[in-house]
Amino acid sequence: MDLLKRLKETPLPFAALLGIEIISAASDRIVAEMTVRHELCTRPDVLHGGALMAFADTLGALGTLANLTEGSGTATIESKTNFISSAPVGARIVGEATPLHRGSRTMVWQTRITNAEGKLVAMVTQTQLIFPKPAKSPQ
Amino acid sequence: MDLLKRLKETPLPFAALLGIEIISAASDRIVAEMTVRHELCTRPDVLHGGALMAFADTLGALGTLANLTEGSGTATIESKTNFISSAPVGARIVGEATPLHRGSRTMVWQTRITNAEGKLVAMVTQTQLIFPKPAKSPQ
Amino acid sequence: MDLLKRLKETPLPFAALLGIEIISAASDRIVAEMTVRHELCTRPDVLHGGALMAFADTLGALGTLANLTEGSGTATIESKTNFISSAPVGARIVGEATPLHRGSRTMVWQTRITNAEGKLVAMVTQTQLIFPKPAKSPQ
Amino acid sequence: MDLLKRLKETPLPFAALLGIEIISAASDRIVAEMTVRHELCTRPDVLHGGALMAFADTLGALGTLANLTEGSGTATIESKTNFISSAPVGARIVGEATPLHRGSRTMVWQTRITNAEGKLVAMVTQTQLIFPKPAKSPQ
């Protein structure tokens, strides 16, 4: 997939800082992984909720990008997270984003974050607004 | 305030990575600032939504800590963000967290994030679960 | 205000069923009241969370309507509620909706619901999508 | 199941007003249906978002009740809805609530609401706080 290749070559700065690794990117399913490094932690040494939300936000936005037509754009307008269990330093977490809705004005993606044993860490639901390609002016 | 002093001496690892600066920490109001560095950005070069959510999460958790009795603890169990406007690289953002509820079982904090001109960037509401101090065993 | 007059004459069916009374409707602030009747309750006899959310949803949508240009429309695309305290049967609750954002594509409204003593009952934040007036075809 | 029998005999007042019919109630899955009557509508004549949220809230709370030990209680502390498509008057909607988390302090339930053709109408995620059975006093 073109999008995946492009992201691997020039990753988003914050996604690179977090160490997000995109595993697969289809138009109806994005999978990524991330290792809980010490600098992504709160105290005690478990993954900071903000790093979890950033991980999910990246996947939901990427899922939307995978469905856009050339020239249109997107922005996350809202995001909701339920934190279920913690991910200690050293853990490897997996995020899987799937669409609830793919419309022409908005898309809604849900990202399920689990640990290596498959236990639910967090569930994130986010809405993406779609910016249509600007209409060509007659000249 | 003790809490503020302690946080300045040994900041949370992820808060340090983001460059969050706590300006004031009272039991009913936490104020912090953060500069939008390139590595906190998405593409185009505006603050990644995840960095915004992490900034707010830190403030809401800190507000809760400022209200806990010795020995009790807290965890964010859910967080909701509405993204209103973007913060470009180089911008300085301000977060102000105030409580909607401070109970013995849960606290609810709302963080208003604005840019230097006072324009609303995002609004975040989060629920903190309170873990009571473990009861002393009779022996 | 025209909108208020129109709503009083022909209220939304569900708003009528709930007994929502619009007190004032300005473009930046909607105020309404509702009495906790037994049939709006859960068990024990306190206002059902769903009735609270319906009350707020009505105010946020109304606030958006008060800002629309002729011919455009709106729909709630997401809503988030934090429940803080309960409202027992017989109580009178007050809802005040104010905008966080009034844009051309979306509006975000926050509704603060309190009891007669001013105690916070719930806080609701919702996003309204704006449907522009269909462009006139050239003939 | 005892709970289901009890609810059918003495339904919650607001659930009765909405016309919610519980189809099945297991500890890991609650299914219910509701018909979109005119008085549950907004304008135009589609189900009011508040009625949708109330429908889901009832299912998530019921799912939690199905997992409580004797003497403990629950309250919804937060609820988040994404509205995907509308349900016109006369439609029959189906809600299916399943748990994301069933802990001793909180439970998190997600309710998927679809129309008779299986199209997604709304997705609701809610957190229930658990009130433990009061400890017996020594006398």
- Domain residue ranges in chain C: 2-131
Q: What residues of A are in contact with residue C77 (Cβ under 8 Å)? A: 106, 127
Which of B100, B104, B109, B121 is most worth mutating to test chain C (most C CB atoms within 10 A of its CB)?
B100
Instruction: Give residue A134's pLDDT.
Output: 72
Query: Which ipTM was obtained for this model?
Result: 0.93
Instruction: Give residue C137's pLDDT.
Output: 57
Is A105–C129 a contact, with Cβ atoms under 8 angstroms apart?
yes
Q: Using one digit for the tens of pLDDT, what is the confidence trace for A16-66?
A: 999 999 999 999 999 999 999 999 999 889 999 999 999 999 999 999 999
Q: Using one digit for the tens of pLDDT, what is the confidence trace for D12-52?
A: 999 999 999 999 999 999 999 999 999 999 988 999 999 99
Q: Does B86 touch chain A (CB under 8 A)?
A: yes
Lowest mean pLDDT among B76-85, C8-17, D61-70: C8-17
Q: Using one digit for the tens of pLDDT, what is the confidence trace for A110-119?
A: 999 999 999 9
Instruction: Give residue D7's pLDDT.
Output: 77
Instruction: Report which residue type is found at A79.
Output: S
Q: Give the full edge-to-edge strand order of the sheet including D120-131.
A: C21-26, C29-35, C92-102, C106-115, C120-131, C73-83, D73-83, D120-131, D106-115, D92-102, D29-35, D21-26
Inform me whether the pLDDT recorded for B1 exceeds 80.
Answer: no
Q: What residues of D are in contact with residue A127 (Cβ under 8 Å)? A: 82
The C-alpha angle C100, C101, C106, rounded to 5 degrees, equals: 135
Q: Using one digit for the tens of pLDDT, what is the confidence trace for D74-115?
A: 999 999 999 999 999 999 999 999 999 999 999 999 999 999
Question: Nearest residue on chain D to C39, judged by CA atoms?
Answer: D13
Q: By C-alpha distance, which of A101, C3, C69, C50 is closest to D86?
A: A101
Q: What is the mean pLDDT of residues A2-22?
A: 88
Instruction: Give residue B7's pLDDT.
Output: 77
Instruction: Give residue D135's pLDDT.
Output: 66
Instruction: Give residue D120's pLDDT.
Output: 98
pTM for this entry:
0.95
What is the C-alpha separation between A74 and A127, in angstroms, rounded? 10
Instruction: Give residue B137's pLDDT.
Output: 57
Q: Does A8 touch chain C (CB under 8 A)?
A: no
Q: What residues of C are in contact with residue B125 (Cβ under 8 Å)? A: 80, 82, 123, 125
Q: What percent of chain A has pLDDT over 70?
A: 96
Is D100–A120 a contact, with Cβ atoms under 8 angstroms apart?
yes
Residue B35 pLDDT class (50, 70, 90 cuts): very high
What is the C-alpha separation between D50 and C47, in angstroms, rounded? 14
- The B residues from 24 to 83 touching C (CB cutoff 8 Å) are 80, 82
Tokens read off for A48? 């900071």
Which of B12, B83, B85, B127 is most worth mutating to test chain A (most A CB atoms within 10 A of its CB)?
B83
Instruction: Give residue C134's pLDDT.
Output: 72
Q: Are A111 and A97 in contact (CB under 8 A)?
A: yes
Q: In angstroms, what CA-CA distances link B82 with A59, A77, B49, B56, C117?
A: 18, 6, 10, 12, 29
Instruction: Give residue C135's pLDDT.
Output: 66
Inform me whether the pLDDT recorded for C19 exceeds 70.
Answer: yes
Q: Which residues contact D123 (CB under 8 A, 6 or more apart)?
A: A100, A108, A110, A125, D81, D82, D84, D110, D111, D112, D113
Q: Using one digit for the tens of pLDDT, what is the confidence trace for B86-98?
A: 999 999 999 999 9
Answer whether CATH 3.10.129.10 is correct for domain A2-131.
yes
The more confidently predicted of residues B10 and A61 is A61
Q: Which H/E stretch holds residue C89?
A: none
Q: What is the mean pLDDT of residues C5-14?
A: 85
Question: Nearest residue on chain B to C109, judged by CA atoms?
Answer: B82
From C82, C123, C127, residue closest to B82, measured CB to CB: C127
Is D120–A127 a contact, with Cβ atoms under 8 angstroms apart?
no
DSSP state of C44: S
Instruction: Give residue D136's pLDDT.
Output: 64
Residue B72 pLDDT class (50, 70, 90 cuts): very high
Q: Are C13 and D39 in contact (CB under 8 A)?
A: yes
The mean pLDDT value of chain A amounts to 93
Residue B134 pLDDT class (50, 70, 90 cuts): confident
Tokens read off for D102? 């069933």
Q: Which H/E stretch holds residue C35?
A: strand C29-35
Q: What is the mean pLDDT of residues B10-24?
A: 95
DSSP state of D40: G
